[in-house]
């Protein structure tokens, strides 16, 4: 069994609309657009069993929660722990963002580029104290997870909070530090889904992040003029995916459902101006990329052998039951501690990291500022790339789900050699109704 957490950022508030810093100031309320979007979240969640509801105590989050709860027709009580409060920015709260940039230029630069070093010096009657908002918020997020998971094992929990605390909830769950605070996007009324197989510290899977199609936005906006954007796509389904057969570097083509998934991904991306495209050279990602590029006939597909799937060696073509019979205990180790497994006559994950990440870096570094491209690859490769965004090692391999035909949006807002931003992760709404990833859960 698994504890599922549906994490939502509150709807647009009056301060959001005015481009003011909110923090813990509780003067801002939902706009009419914010209320409508919150109801859209409720509609998107219809059919999912909700066992418990948590909200930040600040009114913009509580209003969002109430709109969702009313839309769903739920009578569950709403828990409002202080561990869901927004980031504490006492010197900035209520000010316009343009005022912050003008009055606190160095502090604002740190806030955007080195959030772990960002601090505020607070004057009190007892003297001056140094306040590190993001470090404090990380500790707060960990405490929330510990409390929630102790109470709601094997349940589905709705959590409604804020941009900053949601970022820290995601980062603390997934295993990366406050230096990546600005590397996750949380849109108003964006939905993220995390699956916890056990208690705090026993693993997590990010099923999806920052879904916004229910509020009319298929992909997040690209605000930065010179940013580099890459749409990371996993290939469509193969029959071996459907059968849960390990395929690795076996060159298995798409099945009919996989071709349909490729066409649906193509439809999702048809109006996105593309400047480049790359793919693993194996048939399944190549076919998926070619379906997408039917809407972009001027773009030449570059094949990158270093993006081919992990070699499972002697496991390839086998079902889990056959692997367990031939290699007792090894499959369980792969599922629990994947970084320790050397595939018989195949690869280990560090070898995958060592070839996939340089290939990814080459693509990013060759992209022109302001350009957008697609990279179509495999489950293990895409997991390695997303881990790399946050400097995570192979032990975090299972933290990020990749569905067949899913799309992940990655921006480099300040150029190829600066920290990237994960704008949304594992979008699958174009493949089936509902917010859950319903693609085949087959082997790699």
What is the per-residue pLDDT across 312-369, written as a single tens digit (0 to 9) for each?
Answer: 999 999 999 999 999 999 999 999 999 999 999 999 999 999 999 999 999 999 999 9
- pLDDT above 70 covers what percent of the chain? 100
From the CB of residue 75, how many other CB atoms can be counted at a distance below 10 Å? 6
Known active-site residue 107: no
Is the predicted pLDDT of residue 54 greater than 90, yes or no?
A: yes
State mean pLDDT over 218-230. Answer: 90
Q: How confident is the model at residue 127 (pLDDT cuts 50, 70, 90)?
A: confident
State mean pLDDT over 141-166. Answer: 98
How many Å apart are CA 305 and CA 54, to the nearest integer? 46
Q: How confident is the model at residue 279 (pLDDT cuts 50, 70, 90)?
A: very high
Residue holding tokens 């790699």?
444
Residue holding tokens 């589905």?
156
Predicted confidence at residue 441, as pLDDT, reads 74
How buried is residue 120: exposed, middle or buried, by Cβ count under 10 Å (0-12/13-18/19+)? middle
Predicted confidence at residue 210, as pLDDT, reads 98
How many Å apart are CA 152 and CA 2, to the nearest integer? 10
Please write down the HEC assignment for all residues of the chain.
CCEEEEEEECCCEHHHHHCECCCCCCCCCECHHHHHHHHHHHHHCCCCCCCEEEECCCHHHHHHHHHHHHHHCCCCCEECCHHHCCCCCCCCCCCEHHHHHHHCHHHHHHHHHCHHHCCEEEEECCEEEEECHHHHHHHHHHHHHHHHHHHCCCCEEEEEECHHHHHHHHHHHHCCCHHHHHHECCCCCCEEEEEECCCCCCCCEEEEEEECHHHCCCCCCCCCCCCEEEEEEECCCEHHHHHCECCCCCCCCECHHHHHHHHHHHHHHCCCCCCEEEECCCHHHHHHHHHHHCCCCCCCEEECHHHCCCCCHHHCCCEHHHHHHHCCCHHHHHHHCHHHCCCCCCCCHHHHHHHHHHHHHHHHHHCCCCCEEEEEECHHHHHHHHHHHCCCCHHHHHHECCCCCCEEEEEECCCCCCCCEEEEEEECCCCCCCCCCCCCCCCC
Predicted confidence at residue 397, as pLDDT, reads 98
State mean pLDDT over 256-265. Answer: 98
Q: What is the largest CA-CA distance in the chain?
A: 71
Is the predicted pLDDT of residue 433 greater than 90, yes or no?
A: no
Predicted confidence at residue 224, as pLDDT, reads 81
How many Å apart are CA 352 and CA 388, to the nearest integer? 12
Predicted confidence at residue 128, as pLDDT, reads 83
> Whole-model pTM?
0.97
Task: Share the mean pLDDT of the chain.
Answer: 96
State mean pLDDT over 384-405. Answer: 98
- Given 214, 235, 425, 430, which residue is catalytic? 235
Q: Which residues pair with 8 in a beta bridge?
A: 160, 191
Predicted confidence at residue 444, as pLDDT, reads 76
Nearest to 301 by CA among 312, 292, 313: 292
Is the predicted pLDDT of residue 278 greater than 90, yes or no?
A: yes
- Given 207, 304, 309, 316, which residue is catalytic? 309
- Contacts of 11 by beta carbon, 8 Å cutoff, 6+ apart: 30, 31, 33, 34, 35, 36, 37, 38, 41, 60, 63, 64, 67, 188, 189
Known active-site residue 235: yes
How many Å apart are CA 34 and CA 10, to the nearest integer? 8
Predicted confidence at residue 55, as pLDDT, reads 98
State mean pLDDT over 82-98. Answer: 97
State mean pLDDT over 96-100. Answer: 96
CA distances from 382 to 4, 163, 233, 322 (A): 23, 26, 8, 26
* Torsion angles phi and psi, residue 190, rounded to 5: -70, 145
Top pLDDT among 180 and 226 is at: 180
Q: How confident is the model at residue 153 (pLDDT cuts 50, 70, 90)?
A: very high
State mean pLDDT over 254-260. Answer: 98
């Amino acid at each position: 069994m698994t504890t599922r957490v549906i994490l939502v950022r509150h709807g647009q508030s009056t301060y959001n609309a005015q481009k003011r810093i909110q923090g813990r100031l509780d003067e801002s309320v939902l706009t009419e657009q914010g209320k409508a979007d919150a109801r859209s979240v409720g509609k998107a969640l219809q059919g999912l069993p909700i066992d418990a509801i948590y909200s930040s105590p600040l009114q913009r989050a509580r209003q969002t929660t109430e709109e969702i709860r009313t839309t769903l027709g739920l009578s569950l009580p709403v828990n409002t722990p202080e561990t869901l409060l927004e980031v504490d920015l006492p010197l900035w709260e209520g000010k316009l963002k343009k005022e912050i940039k003008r009055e606190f230029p160095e502090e604002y630069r740190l806030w955007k580029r080195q959030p772990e070093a960002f601090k505020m010096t607070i004057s009190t009657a007892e003297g001056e104290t140094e306040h590190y908002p993001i470090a404090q918020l990380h500790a707060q997020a960990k405490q929330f997870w510990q409390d929630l998971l102790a109470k709601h094992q094997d349940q589905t929990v709705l959590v409604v909070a804020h941009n900053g605390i949601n970022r820290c909830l995601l980062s603390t769950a997934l295993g990366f530090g406050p230096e990546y605070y600005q590397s996750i996007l949380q849109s108003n009324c964006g939905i993220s889904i995390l699956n916890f197989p056990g208690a705090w510290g026993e693993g997590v899977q990010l099923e999806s992040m920052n879904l916004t199609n229910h509020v009319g936005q298929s992909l997040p906006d690209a605000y930065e003029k010179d940013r580099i954007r890459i749409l990371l796509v996993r290939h469509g389904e193969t029959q071996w995916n459907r059968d849960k057969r390990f395929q690795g570097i076996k060159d298995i083509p798409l099945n009919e459902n996989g071709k349909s998934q490729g066409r649906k991904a193509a439809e999702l991306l048809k109006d996105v101006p593309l400047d480049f495209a790359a793919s693993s050279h194996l048939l399944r990602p190549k076919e998926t990329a070619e379906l997408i590029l039917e809407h972009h006939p001027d773009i030449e597909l570059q094949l990158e052998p270093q993006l081919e799937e992990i070699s499972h060696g002697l496991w390839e073509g086998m079902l889990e039951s056959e692997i367990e019979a031939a290699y007792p205990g090894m499959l369980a180790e792969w599922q629990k501690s994947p970084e320790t497994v050397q595939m018989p006559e195949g690869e280990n994950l560090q070898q995958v990291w060592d070839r996939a990440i340089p290939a990814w870096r080459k693509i990013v570094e060759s992209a022109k500022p302001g350009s957008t491209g697609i990279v179509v690859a495999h489950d293990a490769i895409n997991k390695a790339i997303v881990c790399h965004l946050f400097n995570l090692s192979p032990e975090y391999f299972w933290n990020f789900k990749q569905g067949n035909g899913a799309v992940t949006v990655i921006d480099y807002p300040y150029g190829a050699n600066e920290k990237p931003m994960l704008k949304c992760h594992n979008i699958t709404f174009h493949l089936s109704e509902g917010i859950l990833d319903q693609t085949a859960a087959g082997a790699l």
